Amino acid sequence: MVQVKICGLKTADAVDAAVNAGADLVGFVFFKKSPRHVTPAIAGGLAARVPVGVLKVGLTVDATNDELAAITGNGAVDILQLHGVETPERVAEVRRKFGLPVMKALPIAAPDDVAAARAYEGVADRLLFDAKPPSGADRPGGNALAFDWGLLAGTRWNLPWLLAGGLTPDNVQAAIRVSGAPGVDVSSGVETVPGHKDAGLIDAFITAAKAG
């Protein structure tokens, strides 16, 4: 069964919608330039609504150790998602220092990008393949852009991975079929406007992904 992560949750209603629809992972964004940004205190309150068995992911972008300490200090996250330009060495350091699994997001646009991702196989617990942001973008993800899913077709990885970037209820089945992804991640694709999740779209996305 394909795993589904609903990312960028910032309200109780959105968290409840994701959980009730069957999300396997829920994501909180700790990046101030994102319209989905939440503080550690807000995330703590939202995390309390998430039942055991649903993993809580904290998305960060090139965060400092002090920032990561604030994010992880209240138990709001089970996994740290590093969505910046963190090196394999930094991934290993974060994993060791904070004692949490780490998911490394990697931007994909060409075969060389897929090859470069291999450097993270030995240090991360999960990988997330996302589209490269457009030139001049002020955030590395959540830009509603897809990449060529065929770049991942037939690849084999020694750890779980998720496909992200421009996914919607309408295209997620094709994305899974083409890429072979064992998991998918959506944020903007289940929103009516940036930062505002739609319960109906969340349900439609999860239903489509798990039926595909």
DSSP letter, residue 182: S
Determine which helix (DSSP H) or strand (DSSP E) holds 6, and give its type and residue range: strand 3-6
Structural domain spans, the chain: 3-211
Q: How far apart are CA 153 and CA 148, in angstroms?
A: 10
Verify whether residue 198 is a known catalytic residue.
no
| 20-39: burial string, b at 16+ Cβ within 10 Å, e else | ebbbbbbbbbbbeebbbbbe
Q: Which of 24, 112, 125, 130 is catalytic?
A: 130
| pLDDT given for residue 133 in this prediction | 76
Verify whether residue 170 is a known catalytic residue.
no
The highest-level CATH class for domain 3-211 is alpha beta
Cα torsion 88, 91, 30, 188: sign: positive
pLDDT string in tens for the chain (212-residue length): 999 999 999 999 999 999 999 999 999 999 999 999 999 999 999 999 999 999 999 999 999 999 999 999 999 999 999 999 999 999 999 999 999 999 999 999 999 999 999 999 999 999 999 998 766 555 554 546 799 999 999 999 999 999 999 999 999 999 999 999 999 999 999 999 999 999 999 999 999 999 96
Q: Which of 7, 66, 170, 203 is catalytic?
A: 7
